[in-house]
Amino acid sequence: MRMPRRLLTLLCVFTIAVPLAQPASLHGQSLTDLSRSFQALTEQTVPGIVQVFTVGYGALSPRQGAGLAIGERTGSGVMVSPDGYIVTNAHVVEGARRIDVLMSEPAVEGAGTTSILKPVGLRLSATIVGVDVETDLAVLKVDVTDHAYLEFGDSDELRAGQIVLAFGAPLGLQNSVTMGVVSAVGRQLNPDDRMVYIQTDAPVNPGNSGGPLVNTVGQVVGINTLILSQSGGSEGLGFAAPSNIVRYVSDEIRDHGRVRRGQIGVFAQTITPTMAEGLRLINEWGVIVADVFQGGAGQRAGLQPGDIVVSLNGKPMENGRQFDVNLYRKPIGQPVSLEVRRGLERLTISVTVSERTDDPSRLADMVNQDENLIEQLGVLVIKLDRTLASALPWLRDPVGLVVAAQAPGAPQRRDGLMPGDVIYSLNGQEARTIGALRSAVGALRSGDAARSEERRVGKECRSRWSPYH
């Protein structure tokens, strides 16, 4: 087989760079040292890794017919604090009625560790602190103190080609470790995705979800989330949530029970060559302020449509998504410094960050367990009025009940009711008040089909059938 000229050249350069007279024992010693380094890194990391077991409802396979069945699933997680907080993926715990985590330390104190077969690990019950669907992240809590944990690294410092290790329980195999490199940073799977990922070729498989991607100094630089695969297994296309996003989301959930996302009241776009030509811009890349919202922080600070954002707090801005991601992690109520180019002028503008208005998770602050709970549906709802509807820009009519949050302990399901959904009716009975919805739900018996008419965030009205439990 004829080799490409570029590859052949690289091999020749590599061969010439190694002195032929160097003793083979030195090469062996270097490899041994490298192997010992990875062994030490693994031993340092494994105590902070957990395996997550969930029991809950899931859809039957096509062969089994329509409906739901109770089953057990497994994923991975990482301890991020000594007092028992664990980060994993939201999809690992969705639909969960019960969650257990399997720790790395033995269940019996003093159990031997000299055997190649490790003793059974300690299994603890876990509770959900909070879930963020947008980033597919969840925070769990177990009752431990002074436990081994891993620290977060700075994912903004990652570069393609850096060595990383993936930890987790692929296909249920606890405490597995694989090695690879960072294939790309800032990867978007779709242009409109709000989430960006680290791409890696470190082998990850089902069960690795929620486990950490670790750099060579033992810091968490990502949470393994998904793979692209035609076979269902690893094909070298793994994607991890960047640690800087994970750290922000987990801190927000721990401090507030949900994620508050910042914004400054502008719509930023990525500059394209066509846009640059039409607007006669100097650069064919970067970020342009396409719109400034009336009454928003950006307008009050003096931002104008057409401003080119050069940097945010001194960090160069290269595209609109980077701008949004860096902005929503800024503390609510704190100022950020924007360097903008307006014509031939360069301006520095300070803008105060406010909470994103289209984030339905902020509705959770407006409800309480006694007044707003629909226990059978596992959600807390609010009666819509014109004042509330004005704060929810995706709605057209101020009628119905908006889902503010899922009830504590309720199963997490992506195909179920989500914060921001508006319920109009249940089985043909209008649900314009909490009392009316409770009455409609109260008329159902276990196993009945419930037909609800809803409007999902940013989508049209829909009807949905689901079994009532």
Q: What is the mean pLDDT of residues 33-47?
A: 92
Q: Are residues 366 and 463 in the same domain?
A: yes
pLDDT of residue 6: 36
Q: Inform me whether the pLDDT recorded for 47 exceeds 50.
A: yes
200, pLDDT greater than 70: yes
Q: Is the pLDDT of residue 243 over 90?
A: yes
Instruction: List, as one string, the DSSP characters of 276-332.
Output: HHHHT-S-SSSEEEEEE-TTSHHHHHT--TT-EEEEETTEE--SHHHHHHHHHTSPT
25, part of any domain: no
Q: Is the sign of the CA dihedral 369, 132, 353, 271 positive or negative?
A: negative
Burial class (CB in 10 A: 0-12, 13-18, 19+), 398: middle
Q: For residue 2, is it within any domain?
A: no
Q: What confidence tier does 3 reach under pLDDT thresholds 50, 70, 90?
A: very low
Residue 281: CATH number of its domain: 2.30.42.10
Report in angstroms the alpha-carbon separations of 176 from 2, 88, 116, 166, 179: 38, 16, 14, 8, 10
CA 138, CA 86: separation in Å to the nearest integer? 8
Amino acid found at 91: H
Do residues 348 and 270 share a domain?
Answer: yes
Determine the length of the chain. 469
463 and 367: one domain? yes
Domain end marker among 256, 278, 296: 256
Cα–Cα distance list, 278 to 250, 272, 285, 343, 415 (Å)? 42, 10, 13, 15, 43
Same-domain check for residues 296 and 246: no
Looking at residues 354-365, what average pLDDT do you find?
Answer: 70
The residues, ordered by sequence, that sit 6+ positions from 335 with a Cβ below 8 Å of its Cβ are 350, 351, 352, 353
Among 121-135, 343-357, 451-465, which is the least confidently predicted range? 451-465
- What average pLDDT score do residues 179-204 get? 86
Residue range of the domain that includes 246: 155-256
- Point out the domain boundary residue: 326, 355, 384: 355
pLDDT in tens, 379-404: 888 888 776 766 665 565 677 888 88
Of the chain, the percentage scoring pLDDT greater than 90 comes to 39
Query: H/E element holding 96?
Result: strand 96-106
- Give the span between the Cα atoms of 55 and 53, in whole angstroms: 7
Indicate if the pLDDT at residue 287 is higher than 80: yes
Shared domain for 268 and 209, answered yes or no, is: no
437-442 contacts: CB < 8 A, separation 24 or more? Answer: 437/374, 437/381, 437/401, 438/374, 441/374, 441/376, 441/377, 441/468, 442/376
pLDDT at 4: 40
For residue 10, being part of any structural domain is answered with no
Per-residue pLDDT tens for 73-117?
899 999 999 999 999 999 899 878 899 999 987 756 666 566 666
Q: Is residue 188 part of a domain?
A: yes
CA angle 397, 401, 403 (to 5 degrees): 115
Considering only residues 428 and 35, tell me which one the structure prediction assigns the higher pLDDT.
Answer: 35
- Which residues belong to the active site? 91, 136, 209
**Mean predicted confidence (pLDDT) in 57-68:** 53
Domain membership of residue 448 (yes or no) is: yes
Q: Among 72-81, 263-272, 350-359, 381-390, which stretch is predicted with the lowest mean pLDDT?
A: 381-390
Q: Are residues 336 and 287 in the same domain?
A: yes
Confidence of residue 16 (pLDDT cuts 50, 70, 90): very low
The CA-to-CA distance between both ends of the chain, in Å, stands at: 63
Q: Are residues 193 and 211 in the same domain?
A: yes
287-314: burial string, b at 16+ Cβ within 10 Å, e else: bbbeebeeebbbbebebeeebbbbebee
For the segment 234-258, the average pLDDT, to the nearest whole number, is 91
Tell me, yes or no, whether 149 lies in a domain: no
**What does the pLDDT read at residue 234?**
77
Nearest Cα neighbor of 100 from 63, 132, 58, 140 is: 140
| Residue 281 shares a structural domain with residue 349 | yes
The verdict on residue 28 lying in a domain is: no
Residues 392 and 376 grouped into a single domain: yes
Distance CA 297, CA 8 (A): 57
Percent of the chain with pLDDT over 70: 76
Tokens of 270: 């990525």
Reported confidence tier of residue 233, pLDDT bands at 50, 70, 90: confident
What's the CATH number where 82 sits? 2.40.10.120
Q: Kindly report whether the global pTM for this prediction surpasses the value 0.75.
A: no
Is 182 in the same domain as 199? yes
Mean pLDDT, the chain, whole residue set: 80
- 3 state DSSP class of 270: strand
pLDDT tier for residue 215 given thresholds of 50, 70 and 90:
very high
Q: Are the C-beta atoms of 80 and 149 separated by less than 8 Å?
A: yes
Looking at the fold, whether 235 and 275 belong to one and the same domain comes out as no
When mean pLDDT is compared across 117-121, 144-148, 211-215, 374-378, the lowest value belongs to: 117-121
State which of 106-115, 276-285, 327-336 shows the largest mean pLDDT. Answer: 327-336
Amino acid in position 163? I
Give φ, ψ of 285 to 5 degrees. Answer: -145, 170
> Does residue 251 sit within a domain?
yes
Q: Which residues of 42-74 are buried (b: 16+ CB within 10 A; e: fewer)?
A: beebbbbbbbbbbebbbeeeeeeeeeeeeeebb
Looking at per-residue pLDDT, the higher value among 456 and 295 belongs to: 295
CA distance 138 to 129: 8
Q: Of 120 and 318, which is predicted with more confidence?
A: 318
pLDDT for residue 351 is more than 90: yes
In 3D, which of 396, 390, 400 has the Cα closest to residue 440?
A: 400
Top pLDDT among 102 and 318 is at 102
Count how many domains the chain has.
Answer: 4
Binning pLDDT at 50, 70 and 90, where does residue 55 land?
Answer: confident
Are 234 and 275 part of one and the same domain?
Answer: no
pLDDT tens digits, one per residue of 415-448: 567 777 888 887 777 888 888 888 888 877 665 5
Among 119, 141, 163, which residue terminates a domain? 141
| Residue where the block lists tokens 């909070």 | 130
Give the CA angle between residues 13, 18, 24 to the nearest 5°. Answer: 145
pLDDT at 462: 45
Measured CA to CA in angstroms, residue 306 lies from 131, 316, 341, 345 at distances of 37, 18, 9, 13
